[in-house]
Each structure stands twice: as C-alpha cells, then as structure tokens.
Structure 1
C-alpha cells in the first residue's frame, strides 16, 4: 500500500524525516528488539513468532491486529474491568483496522496514556516515519505491564513518562495533520475504527 503514496514536500517531508530519524534511534537503543522479545514471550507460540526486530518485519507480523489483540488479552487478563478482545482473522482492511482499533481502546483502558497511542494507519500502512509511533506505543505498553508486575517481564529500558514532550512546532504539526486529513476522511467512509488517532509527531518521548 505504501508504494502508492504521493511524495511529501515542505514541512510534511521534514516531519517524516524527523520521524524516520527517531525510528533509527530506537533501533540503535534496542527498543524494537525488546518489543519483539516480549511479544514472542507473551504469545508463547513457537510456531508463530516474529523472527526479526527490523521495523518492516514487525509491521508484517502485527499489521492485521490479531496478534496485538492476543497480547492485550494476555496482559489484561488479571486486571479487573479490562475486557477480552474478540478479534477477527479476516485479512481485509476493514477487519484488520477494526482489530487495531479494539487493541488501542483496550490498551488505553489498561493504562497506556492516550498521547502514546498510535493511529491505525501508522501500523496498517507500514510507512517508516509514522511506524515510530507504533514502536513508542508498544514500548509504553510493555512498561505499563512491567509496572503491574506482569510476567513475562518487558525488558525495554526506561520508565513511564510523566509528561508529553513534543519534538515539533505547532506549525509543523498542523502541516502534517493537513497532509493526512484527506486520507483519514476517505478511510472513515470505507474502513473501520480510527481509535487512537492523533496528530503524527506528538508521541511521548521514551526515557532512557
């Protein structure tokens, strides 16, 4: 799907480059590897593992949302008031994005801050820049589960952040938001839940 995206220019292109650079930083810090190790441990299925911590492989493994729902069901099982997610294995965009939306809603109920949630398109479309939001959110989910003493324990570095630090100016955020509004509008007429949507670039900074 990402092969057919129009090229960005101006502020939108600058923001995308900053997001891509942030993803590269997370890879250097070992965050994607910690996320993959934890998800594989939670799923505990030797026949169904993510074998690489490269962001493209993580995207392919998680993009239909079903494995994320299974992870959320596992970590939320011991928490009162956290509903079990009924996910679909249907591979159409509608059902995949519906799975992702359910996962985001339940993750927020579990304790992930709303500002840490990614947009459904950040995961489903698999574009490098916005995918940093997926990694940031999964890191936050792992830290929340760690704070609740869930086992297997998430081993990513850092602690839960207490404030939202933005890396972009208001003008940059407005420019990026304007560039995705037409796509979101079209998706709202043909696709399922857009839960967890926010302006790209507003994800929480991962503390060292």
Structure 2
C-alpha cells in the first residue's frame, strides 16, 4: 500500500510535514519507475460526443501547420539545437512542449544572464503535477514579459491537448513582443513575427497648449467656405426684375 502522509507524519511517524512530503514523493517516483503505476495523463477520459465533439473538432481545425513550422524554427533558433525538434503535426508539437521545459528555455532566452525568470529542473520533470507546474511557471513569465491575458493559454489546453492552437497563439504573441522590444535578445528572422503597434508620444509646450484653446474644434462645425455673396439684408424686400 502506498505510504500516506498520515503514516509518515501522524502518531508514531516522527516526521515533520516537509520531510513526510519528500518521503512520499520519493516512494511515488520509485514505484513509477518500476512500472507499478499505469501511464497516467490528464487526458484519461472518455471520448467526446455530440455538441462537445463538434466544439472540439472546430477547435482542432484552428491549428495552423504552417505556423507550427515557423514557431519550431524560431524556438530552435532562440534556444539552440539542444531543445530538439518535434514530429510534424499537432500531437508532435504538443508532446514537445508538454513538460514545460522547452517553453521555459524559450522565455528564459529573452532575458539577460542572471535575470532568468523560470528555474528549469535537471533532469526534466517526469511527474504529471511537476510538468504542469513547469508550464504554469512559463505562463507566469510570459505574462510578466508582456503577453496579454487574452493571448495566454490555459495549462489544460496544452496538457490535455484541448486547444493547441491557443498554445501557438501564446508563443506567437511572445515572439511578436520580442521583435517589438528589439533589446538584443531576439534570435532568428524578424520577419517571422509582426511588430506590435507602439504609442507615439507628442510633447507640447505651454504656449502651444494656450494657442490650441483659441482654435475651434471640428466637432463644433466650421466657419470656412460660407459666403453671404448675393444675399440681401434682413427686412428688405427682394427685388424682382422682369
């Protein structure tokens, strides 16, 4: 029977919470390596039917194979050949990024030495919850880098394969930000990503601001182009010549 926290920490256990947790992790890892647990993923659920299946099918159709190729090229150029390459296709792309290590390498490469935001474990995590934690750290770092929340995928989108197109969208947004910042950390072809629009600040002097108060705004109408030529004064009869 699997050692429980109560066995290790309860009466007679003699261990504090941290030591008990480490002991349980070690036993789980040992049994996993001996094949005593079945292969477990977060996707162990029955197939979708009806409306759920239709929705999932539409989501899967959003996956862009051409974008996948571009993103893979950028990740390899940015992180180095050590990250390897995935098998072509949605499943291969998912498996490549699933444990969070490649994604963490990617976001770390956009920072200078000594300022890397994500700690990458050695060897790569194999436990399910550790992999999900690694992905979550990448998402936090991507958001801190400037990726807006609407472009951030959910952990289950990658881990369960629910929406790999959303994963593509997050990586693409990260690349666009890196190109836009142009701080020397981007590697690869800048044409792979669109630059994000940037604000254009204008500074006006006090005298210019005062002059602006005397200008009639367009929303008030315009006094240009109007003419009284040919008009008669008020109260005078119109002269009709036959």
* TM-score band w.r.t. shorter chain: 0.5 to 0.7
Measure the CA separation in 2 of the matches of 1:130 and 1:18.
10
Q: Which moved more, 1:51-60 or 1:96-105?
A: 51-60
Other-structure match for 1:134:
167
Structure 1 stretches of 4+ moved >4 Å:
157-162
Cα RMSD of the aligned pairs, angstroms, is 2.6
> Contact 2:179–2:193 (CA<8 Å) still a contact in 1?
no
The question of 1:101 aligning with 2:136 is answered yes
> Unpaired segments of 5 or more residues in structure 2?
1-40, 199-242
Task: Give aligned pairs, total.
Answer: 153
Q: Could you say which structure has the greater relative contact order, defined with CA pairs below 8 angstroms and 6 or more residues apart? A: 1
Other-structure match for 2:76:
40
Alignment of 1:70-85 (within 5 A): 70-77=105-112, 84-85=117-118
Aligned with residue 159 of structure 2, among 118, 124, 133: 124
> Contact 2:179–2:195 (CA<8 Å) still a contact in 1?
no
> Contact 1:43–1:70 (CA<8 Å) still a contact in 2?
yes
Q: Closer, same or farther in 2 for the Cα pair 1:100/1:8, shift >3 Å?
A: same
Residues 126-148 of structure 1, C-alpha deviations (whole Å, 9 max, x = no match):
x2x51111111111111111111
CA-CA distance at 1:119 after TM superposition: 1.1
Aligned with residue 144 of structure 1, among 160, 164, 177: 177
Measure the CA separation in 2 of the matches of 1:54 and 1:15.
20
Q: Secondary structure at the match of 2:62?
A: helix
Q: Closer, same or farther in 2 for the Cα pair 1:156/1:55, shift >3 Å?
A: farther
Q: Tell me the TM-score normalized by structure 1.
A: 0.64
> Contact 1:38–1:155 (CA<8 Å) still a contact in 2?
no
Other-structure match for 2:62:
22
Other-structure match for 1:12:
52
> Contact 2:86–2:96 (CA<8 Å) still a contact in 1?
no
> Unpaired segments of 5 or more residues in structure 1?
163-208
Q: Closer, same or farther in 2 for the Cα pair 1:144/1:18, shift >3 Å?
A: same
Residues 21-56 of structure 1, C-alpha deviations (whole Å, 9 max, x = no match):
111xx22xx2101100000011113x4411544222
Q: Closer, same or farther in 2 for the Cα pair 1:137/1:41, shift >3 Å?
A: same
> Contact 1:112–1:140 (CA<8 Å) still a contact in 2?
yes
Measure the CA separation in 2 of the matches of 1:93 and 1:156.
33
Q: Secondary structure at the match of 2:61?
A: helix
Aligned with residue 58 of structure 1, among 68, 89, 93: 93
